[in-house]
Structure 1
Amino acid sequence: MSFIQVLDQGYVRLVDKMGSDLTVVNAARVSYAKQSKELTDRDIRLIRFLAREGHTSPFRHAVLQFEIYAPLMVARQWWKYVVGSAHMEGTGDSLDAWNESSRRYITEEPVFYVPRKDEWRSKPDNSKQGSGQPIEWEKGEAFTASLMEYIEQGLEKYQAALDAGICAEQARLFLPAYGLYVRWYWTASLQAVCHFLSQRLEHDAQKEIQLYAKAILQLSEAQFPNAIAQFIKKEEVK
């Protein structure tokens, strides 16, 4: 599996990957000029040790590349992990790459995330949590209809601006922003992916980005089953 549908129209696709669990092992064993040809129980114990003790540099020698299609509100939360990658890994240079489609250049049909009537959530009791329990479906139905109406108004103004000869990079100002789907490539070290997962799989993360994190986890653990299991386990205990 290399493709997982998320939300109503979003998705995560595994584009490419470099390395395997053995890559992590051999990156660590090179300190003693040793190399494993096949993954053994001893190697798995080494991965467990590296994750437990915080020896993270071997995890940076494996890389994953994803194509992601998500609402802008998810994309901008996600972007923080690219900005913070260099600080997290202590390398002075980010091991993350991000390339996003731009409405300066393309005018493909805008797509928006619209929560269903049973997907609207209430204010949280704790300010550290983004949302609370689902609201009554009657209220949700009204807000879904209101949001769709708002989007239609924005689309009409956007198209009118384009038809009047306004450039795409300015016409896009009329598009409602946070629910607008955007597409990007995210290339990251295995450590950076695990760091993202350890935080966005938490129960208090925004639900929408949790769903994307679960898709990233599912695609990643198929490629790095031992490394993902040990690293995520270590981060969650922490």
Structure 2
Amino acid sequence: MEETIEQLSRFHSKALDDILGKPFKVLDDGFVRVVDYMGTDSSIVQAARVSYGKGTKKVSRDRELIRYLLRHQHTSPFEMCSIKLHVRVPMDCWRQWIRHRTASVNEYSTRYSIAINAAQKTAPDAWRGQSDVNHQGSAGLIDPETGREFSQEESELHQLARHIYSKRLDAGVAREQARKDLPLCTYTEAYWKIDLHNLLHFLKLRMENNAQKEIRDYALTIGHEIVSRWAPVTWEAFNDYVMQSIQFSRLEREILACLLQGLPEAALEKAESFGWLVRDAQGILKKRQERYEFEEKMRSMNITLPWEKDSI
């Protein structure tokens, strides 16, 4: 006798339904909003139980199963959920965004349409300095007085670029060519569709403190305003096991093991053998990115490392 086929129904998230189409403002003139979605936490559980069979229902509750899947990086059930977002984002930020090639994208075309008349502006007190440690990142702020000059020049540049662009269009220059000197701060719009597994990977990278602030603002909005409503159990597990967790390399574990055994001198010897404590002619520790990252991890747990005690 054939088994009865289980009646299926579409899973809905009332919390997400309530914000469909609602734009969440990001930066000065950007936004992100949900256009459509498929699946919820229940879809992840449903997909996982197909793999494990009916018996799993008696062993695991939904929350426990989702947490187990994420903790052990069983990713395919999370691919059963997908979401489509409408985003408005500066082009320089969009260049980083589009590097995540695991989504389906359709972007506003300035070959067919006139470029959006909006450009991201920087407040006088928001100009960031170059990081000495992370060469692709920023650290600290430029003094507001200098920033005020930069912001004024920025405004003048935006106006001039837009004037030249409009002048070319009025003269009949093709849109595809007239656009070529628009600044990267010009806003663009796109529909971006991605499954939950790959969205979590995007958020992991772009919500980090060392991510560029502009794209981090978008990632934080997507995470806290959208994913938390869409799949709250997954969001909780993601924060517990990914965003709020710490991963140690073999080298870091060896030093940490020495510290836990109360052997700071052995920890120093380990760091020396790894080449982390090389000094310059003035006796100052040379910059080592790997050491810096380990120090950051230890600071997050209020642990002082032996070479920091003497302000090495």
Of all paired residues, the percent bearing the same amino acid is: 37
Taking a change above 3 Å as real, the CA distance of residues 128 and 48 of structure 1, as seen in their structure-2 partners, is farther
State which structure, 1 or 2, has the greater radius of gyration over its C-alpha atoms: 2
Q: Secondary structure at the match of 2:205?
A: helix
Q: Distance in 1 between matches of 2:116 and 2:62?
A: 49
Give the corresponding residue for 2:79. 60
Q: In 2, are the aligned partners of 1:3 and 1:11 still within 8 Å (CA)?
A: yes
Using the alignment, how far apart are the partners of 2:83 and 2:116 within structure 1? Answer: 29
Q: Which ranges in structure 1 are unaligned for 5 or more consecutive residues? A: 86-95
Does residue 89 of structure 2 align to residue 70 of structure 1? yes
2:218 alignment partner in structure 1:
212
The whole-number CA distance in structure 1 between the counterparts of 2:23 and 2:60 is: 30
2:201 equivalent among 192, 195, 211: 195
SS in structure 1 at match of 2:25:
strand
In 1: Cα distance, 2:189 partner to 2:56 partner: 38
Cα distance in 2 between the residues matched to 1:221 and 1:128: 33
Write the distance in 1 (CA, Å) between the matches of 2:182 and 2:115: 13
Deviation at 1:182, TM superposition (A): 0.5
The answer to whether the 8 Å contact 1:129/1:204 transfers is no
2:69 aligned with 1:50? yes
Which runs of 5 or more residues in structure 2 are unaligned? Answer: 1-18, 248-312
Which of 132, 142, 151 is the aligned partner of 1:144?
A: 151
| Residue 163 of structure 1, CA deviation | 1.2
Contact 1:114 1:147 in 2 (8 A): yes
2:181 is the alignment partner of 1:162: no
Provide the rounded CA distance (Å) in 2 between the counterparts of 1:119 and 1:227: 34
SS at match of 2:34: strand
1:19 is matched with 39
User: 1:149-187: CA deviations, max 9, x gaps?
Assistant: 1111111111111111101110001311x1010000110
Assess if the C-alpha contact under 8 Å between 1:71 and 1:179 holds in 2: yes
| Residue of structure 2 in register with 1:10 after alignment | 30
3-state SS of paired residue (1:188): strand
Letter in 2 for 1:29: R
Aligned to 2:291: none
94, 100, 112: which one aligns with 2:107: 100
Describe the shift of the 1:234–1:170 C-alpha distance in structure 2 as closer, same or farther (beyond 3 A): same
Runs of 4+, deviation exceeding 3 Å: 32-37
SS state at 2:188 partner: strand
Q: After the TM superposition, which of the residue ranges 155-164 and 97-106 deviates more from structure 2?
A: 155-164
| CA pair 160-123 structure 1, distance change in 2 beyond 3 A | same
SS where residue 151 of structure 2 aligns? helix
8 Å CA contact 1:6–1:212 kept in 2: the answer is yes
- C-alpha change, 1:194 and 1:98, in structure 2 (3 Å) is same
User: Residue deviations 1:199-228, cap 9 Å, x none?
Assistant: 111110001111100111021110100112
Q: What is residue 118 of structure 2 aligned with on the other side? A: 111
| Cα deviation, residue 232, structure 1 | 4.0
Q: Give the counterpart letter for 2:117 in structure 1.
A: P
Q: Is the Cα contact below 8 Å between 2:116 and 2:187 reproduced in 1?
A: no
User: How high is the TM-score relative to the length of structure 1?
Assistant: 0.88
Distance 1:170 1:49, change over 3 A: same
Equivalent pair of 1:130/1:206 in contact (CA under 8 Å): yes
Is contact 2:116-2:186 (8 Å) kept? no
Structure 1: how far apart are the matches of 2:60 and 2:189? 40
Q: CA deviation at 1:33?
A: 3.7
Contact persistence 2:116–2:188 (CA under 8 A): no
| Secondary structure of residue in 1 paired with 2:65 | helix
CA distance in 1, matches of 2:152, 2:106: 33
TM-score, with structure 2 as normaliser = 0.68
Instruction: Return the match for 1:228 from 199, 219, 235.
Output: 235
Q: Check conservation: 2:115, 2:179, Cα contact below 8 A.
A: no
8 Å Cα contact 1:26-1:34 kept in structure 2: no
Distance 1:203 1:65 in 2: 26
Which residue does 2:48 correspond to in 1? 28
